[in-house]
Structure formats: structure tokens, C-alpha cells
Structure 1
Amino acid sequence: MSGLSTHVLDTANGVPGAGITIKLYRVEADQLHLLVSTVTNSDGRTDALLLTSDELRIGQYQLQFDTADYFRSRGAPVPETAFLDDIVIRFGINNTEEHYHVPLLVSPFSYSTYRGS
């Protein structure tokens, strides 16, 4: 089954990234078009796919994760001007028959991502 999903792991605390606001945009001609705004659940995942197989289109997308507010809410010493505030991951979808999973592993000072399954 195709679609788009994500999840967030808080690598600084070894827990799922619960309560993180995520926005998904479609990028067209350098313009951002908001498709979805959601918040991660207690497992660091979204309750539904960000895009279903019917909604998935070939093109460029951008995920934005509001991580500074998340770490502040956990008591991390994140200054007003955070080193990592909103983490933006821009990626392409080139096959609507495949599933795309874009996880975020994050701490207040680093992050990584990959194409998952």
C-alpha cells in the first residue's frame, strides 16, 4: 500500500517524540502549499497517513517539525534562538505505487533522517 508516513524519535531522551507539530507542504515552483498540519501521538507517530495512496502525487514535498517547542516543553535548556528550531526536510516522490516513510531522529543539537519502510 502506498502513501506517506513519518515518526519522530527523541534520541536525547530515548523516547518517542510525542506532541510535536508537523506540517506537510507540496513544493511547486518554489511555492509552499500546506497539505496537512498534525501533531504526533504518544508513540511519536501521526494517527493517520500524511498522504493516502489516493493523495500521493509525483513531486517535491517538505516536512516541517516544530522541535524547539517540544524540547522546551520537556525542560531542555533551549534558548530563545534555538540551534534547531523548525527542522525542514525536503524530499521527492517519484513513484506513487510505493510507500514513503520519512522518520526524524532528533535531539536539541542534531538530527538525522532516512527513507524508511
Structure 2
Amino acid sequence: MAASARDPITCHVLDTTTGRPAVNITVKLSCVTVSTIEFICETNSDGRITNWRNEQGTTRYTATGEPSERHGSFVKLHGGVTATLQHMITEYAAAEATAACPAGSSLWKLEFDTGSYYGAANTFFPKVDLIFLVKEGEHFHVPLLLGPYSFTTYRGS
């Protein structure tokens, strides 16, 4: 099976203590407007995430209350993860500008499980949450430079 095109939001984690990619960090991605739809992945051998997974499902019930099926209906309805991300970026873009969000943009959140990477007792930041603006039609790459007692980020290319 061919690798799918990269998703519209990607990230990269570098461990500044070793100067190497941070491998196997679990990262969650969500749109702040619709935080119930969550995407997840682990950083690869290069510390990158280029494609997300959606492991959520909704349980549908029969008229008698028995569970009938379980599937990620929202993601399935929109044609998979990449298409769903693109749909959400368009659908949840602010129609009018606010103090926190320009018109045509949406707020997204990346949650990095850094405690599992360093060990919760070995880091000051067991979780790093980054909230950022996404505009329709653009690609967003968010690098995280990570140490056990510090982190920094920027808009990548």
C-alpha cells in the first residue's frame, strides 16, 4: 500500500539534550472548536508525524438499546483522516475575526506526551500543549525542540 500524502498539519520533535530526533512520543491533534474529534500518532524514527490516525468510534444502538456497530463515523463520512482534517480546517474556520482568531482561521492543539518520553519524574513538563492558528489552504508544520526542563517551538515550513 502506498503511503498517503502528508496531512495538512504535521509536527517534528527534536531532543535538545541528545541533538537527535525524539522517537515514539505520542502526540494528539484536535481542533479547539471540536475537541471531541481527536487524531493521534507517535513520532517516527526521524521524530516526525506526517500522517495521523483516528482511533475513535461511535457506538450505534438498535431500537432495543443493544450495541450494533462501532466505527469512526465522522472520519469515515469525510473520506479518511487527511480529507477529514482538510474538511475541518475549512468547516471550522472563523467566519468573522475575533481577538483570538482571524477570519478564515481555526485554532488547533497539539498535545505531546513528554512525560512518557523522559519519565514523569525526569521532566518539568510531562505534557506540552501547543495551540496555534491554521488557515485554509496552507500546510502547517510545528517543530518542538524539547529538553527535560525546557521547550521551544516555531512555525516550520
Same fold (TM > 0.5): yes
Residue number in structure 1 paired with 2:25:
20
The alpha-carbon distance between structure 1 residues 112 and 62, as it changes in their structure 2 partners (threshold 3 A), is same
Q: 1:57-107: CA deviations, max 9, x gaps? A: 1311100001121013xxxxx527x410110000111x2111111110000
The amino acid of 1:40's aligned partner reads T
Give unmatched runs, 5+ long, in structure 1.
73-77
Residue number in structure 2 paired with 1:85:
126
Residue number in structure 1 paired with 2:103:
none
Alignment partner of 1:9 out of 9, 14, 18? 14
Percent identity between matched residues is 37
The alpha-carbon distance between structure 1 residues 106 and 39, as it changes in their structure 2 partners (threshold 3 A), is same
- The CA RMSD over aligned residues, in Å, is 2.4
Indicate the structure (1 or 2) with the bigger Cα radius of gyration: 2
The alpha-carbon distance between structure 1 residues 34 and 108, as it changes in their structure 2 partners (threshold 3 A), is farther
Larger proportion of strand: 1
Q: 1:28-65: CA deviations, max 9, x gaps? A: 1xx62342111011110125268747623131110000
Given the two structures, how large is their TM-score scaled by the length of structure 2? 0.61
Residue number in structure 2 paired with 1:112:
152
* In the alignment, structure 1 residue 66 sits paired with structure 2 residue 113: yes
Residue number in structure 2 paired with 1:55:
85
What is the distance in 1 between the residues matched to 2:36 and 2:144? 21
Conserved 8 A contact 2:39-2:52 = no
Larger proportion of helix: 2
Give unmatched runs, 5+ long, in structure 2.
1-5, 54-80, 94-105
Given the two structures, how large is their TM-score scaled by the length of structure 1? 0.80
The alpha-carbon distance between structure 1 residues 55 and 79, as it changes in their structure 2 partners (threshold 3 A), is closer
